[in-house]
Amino acid sequence: MEFDGVDDYIDAGSFSALNSGTAMTISLWFKGSTYITLARLISCGQFEIYQSSATYPNQQGRLYYKLRKIYGNSLVTLGGTSASGVGVMVDGNWHHLCLTFDYSTTTAIVYEDGVPVITNTSVASEILNPASSNLYIGSKSTSANFIEGNIDEVAIFNYALDSDQVDEIYNATSVGKTADLSTMATPPVAWYRMGD
């Protein structure tokens, strides 16, 4: 799906699959060349992936990955220029983005193009936000923080994929070829093919 950065978004409706969750993975493909302040690739009560301020040149192209606890407060925010190893993801090319979280090991990992670029093993021992909220793709809500670019193959799991599983999704997905997530031992709780 292509988003114009002005008013395009997908409202996937009330999302409760991760309420009070203790583990999760969000996986998606993104292609964009325009950096918009606080534009959201995806957002709901338990997580979001977004761009920072466009007024900070050293942050342009780098994304933030946030997990949310009760009341939507931040459980942990990863990424941006403060994290070594992260790449410029707003460069006009397709990139695979993946965020995993496992409460039992207090670990959150960000993968970009199949590579673990951020690993935080000291995430607070708290569950994900217990409250349902709408899941938005391409915005924060019906009226705010619209992304400009393309988003494809959004998948949400209620467990943390391991590095081999992330690598399998990354390497099986290319032009004309998409990983069949329905054949996984535990398939995603939500999978948006985005018109494919």
Q: Where residue 83 falls among pLDDT bands split at 50, 70, 90?
A: low
CA 135 to chain centre: 12
Q: Domain segments of the chain: what residues?
A: 2-192
Instruction: For residues 145-152, give the mean pLDDT.
Output: 96
Whether 53 has a pLDDT exceeding 80, the answer reads no
Q: Where residue 60 falls among pLDDT bands split at 50, 70, 90?
A: low
Angstrom CA distances, 43 to 13, 87, 146, 180, stand at: 12, 21, 11, 24
Domain 2-192, CATH among 2.60.120.200, 1.10.760.10, 1.10.357.10, 3.60.150.10: 2.60.120.200
Q: What is the pLDDT of residues 9-43, one digit of tens each?
A: 999 999 999 999 999 999 999 999 888 889 999 99
Which residues 6+ apart lie within 8 Å of 29 measured at CB?
94, 95, 96, 97, 150, 151, 152, 153, 173
Give the separation between CA 148 and CA 18, rounded to whole angstroms: 27
What integer best gives the mean pLDDT of the chain? 90
Angle at 10 between CA 183 and CA 170, to 5 degrees: 35
pLDDT for the residue 62: 81
Q: What is the pLDDT of residues 99-113, one digit of tens each?
A: 999 999 999 999 999
pLDDT for the residue 196: 53
